[in-house]
């Protein structure tokens, strides 16, 4: 199960099992997962990613048996639930935090450091969730609530690379490779990516699974947890922090407007 091959995926599934048990007997795993709001799932995943990068996530994951029948069953149910159409997160509108006086086409380039995973010059957006929050709420990227915009567009008209799995992420990197000569690690070449797609969207499944696999990059291979996330043949998506979309070309018929939300539940 690919959810069990990464640190945040494994701890996320383990946390769901604990929550399922607290919810009481008689509720199937499928029914339990469907009862969870997208906000609850996103916040839990953010915590697991943060724990992996800066906390005890590696140790926690090492204590979880990925072959335990309960773990495997919950991982299978979780993967199916997050892949379902009602959990789709590349939706319109997308939200942007931060003041934008005039919206211009992004000029996306690679950052200077050879080990950078994220691009420079892109427009970043978050996916709205229930209750007036979005996937950047409670994240490091969240800006002041008064600087909140929405990008309205037709998702079917966007050339988007969706990152729903490690395989999706590796395919993007191999198609647009930028190799660190010191380590041999393959990083995304954003100059090349920007010439072929309009946007790259990291889904909740991608946030949990597009990291170095524990079977391929043991914890001992890195000095620290954050270093582990960038070890191996390719780096993970830990720097993304949460579900989000990076835009390189704005939608041709998109509409940019101030959000009607005047406050966010922080």
Percentage above 70 pLDDT, the chain: 93
pLDDT tier for residue 17 given thresholds of 50, 70 and 90:
very high
What pLDDT is stored for residue 11 in this prediction?
98
Give the number of other CB atoms < 10 A from CB of residue 71: 20
Q: 116-146, pLDDT tens digit by residue? A: 999 999 999 999 998 889 999 877 554 455 6
* 47 has pLDDT over 80: yes
What are residue 179's phi and psi, to 5 degrees?
A: -100, 130
User: Any idea what DSSP says for residue 104?
Assistant: -
- Cα angle 103, 247, 116; round to 5: 120
* 21 has pLDDT over 60: yes
Q: How far is CA 185 from the centre of its chain?
A: 20
What pLDDT is stored for residue 37 in this prediction?
95
Residue 58, both tokens: 């590696």
CA dist 49 and 229 (Å) reads: 10
CA dist 203 and 223 (Å) reads: 28
What pLDDT is stored for residue 146 in this prediction?
66
Minimum mean pLDDT among 67-81, 102-116, 128-142: which range?
Answer: 128-142
CA dist 158 and 156 (Å) reads: 6
Percentage above 90 pLDDT, the chain: 77
Coil/strand/helix, residue 200: strand
User: Any idea what DSSP says for residue 224?
Assistant: S
DSSP 83-151: TSGGG----SSEEEES--SS------EE-SSTT--SEES-EEEB-B-GGG-BTTTTSTT---TTSEEEE
Residue 174, both tokens: 């191999």
What pLDDT is stored for residue 143 in this prediction?
44
What pLDDT is stored for residue 176 in this prediction?
97
Q: 187-204, pLDDT tens digit by residue? A: 999 999 999 999 999 999
CA dist 209 and 4 (Å) reads: 8
Average pLDDT, the chain: 91
What pLDDT is stored for residue 263 in this prediction?
42
Q: Which residue has the higher pLDDT, 140 or 51?
A: 51
* 35 has pLDDT over 90: yes
Q: With 0-12 CB in 10 A as exposed, 13-18 as middle and 19+ as buried, what is 209?
A: buried
Residue 42, both tokens: 């996103």
pTM given for the model: 0.93
Q: Closest Cα partner for 122 from 244, 259, 234, 255?
A: 244
Pairing outcome for strands 199-202 and 160-163: parallel
């Amino acid at each position: 199960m690919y959810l069990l091959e990464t640190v945040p995926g494994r701890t996320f599934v383990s946390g769901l099992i604990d929550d399922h048990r607290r919810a009481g007997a008689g509720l199937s795993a499928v029914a339990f997962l469907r009862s969870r709001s997208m906000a609850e799932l996103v916040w839990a995943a953010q915590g697991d990613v943060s724990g992996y990068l800066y906390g005890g996530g590696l140790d926690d994951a090492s204590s979880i048996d990925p072959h335990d029948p309960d773990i495997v069953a919950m991982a299978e149910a979780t993967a199916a639930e997050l892949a379902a159409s009602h959990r789709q997160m590349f939706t319109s509108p997308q939200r942007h935090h931060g003041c934008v006086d005039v919206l211009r086409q992004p000029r996306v380039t690679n950052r200077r450091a050879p080990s950078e995973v994220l691009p420079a010059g892109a427009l970043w957006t978050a996916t709205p969730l229930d209750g007036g929050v979005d996937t950047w709420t409670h994240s490091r990227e969240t800006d002041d609530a008064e600087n909140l915009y929405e990008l309205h567009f037709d998702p079917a008209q966007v050339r988007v690379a969706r990152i729903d799995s490690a395989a999706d992420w590796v395919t993007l990197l191999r198609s647009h490779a930028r190799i660190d000569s010191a380590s041999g690690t393959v990083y995304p070449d954003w100059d090349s990516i920007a010439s072929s797609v309009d946007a790259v969207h990291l889904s909740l499944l991608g946030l949990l699974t597009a990291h170095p696999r524990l079977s391929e990059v043991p914890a001992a291979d890195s000095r620290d947890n954050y270093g582990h996330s960038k070890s191996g043949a390719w780096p993970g998506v830990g720097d993304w922090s949460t579900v989000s979309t990076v835009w390189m070309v704005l939608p041709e018929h998109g509409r940019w407007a101030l959000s009607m939300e005047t406050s966010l539940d922080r």
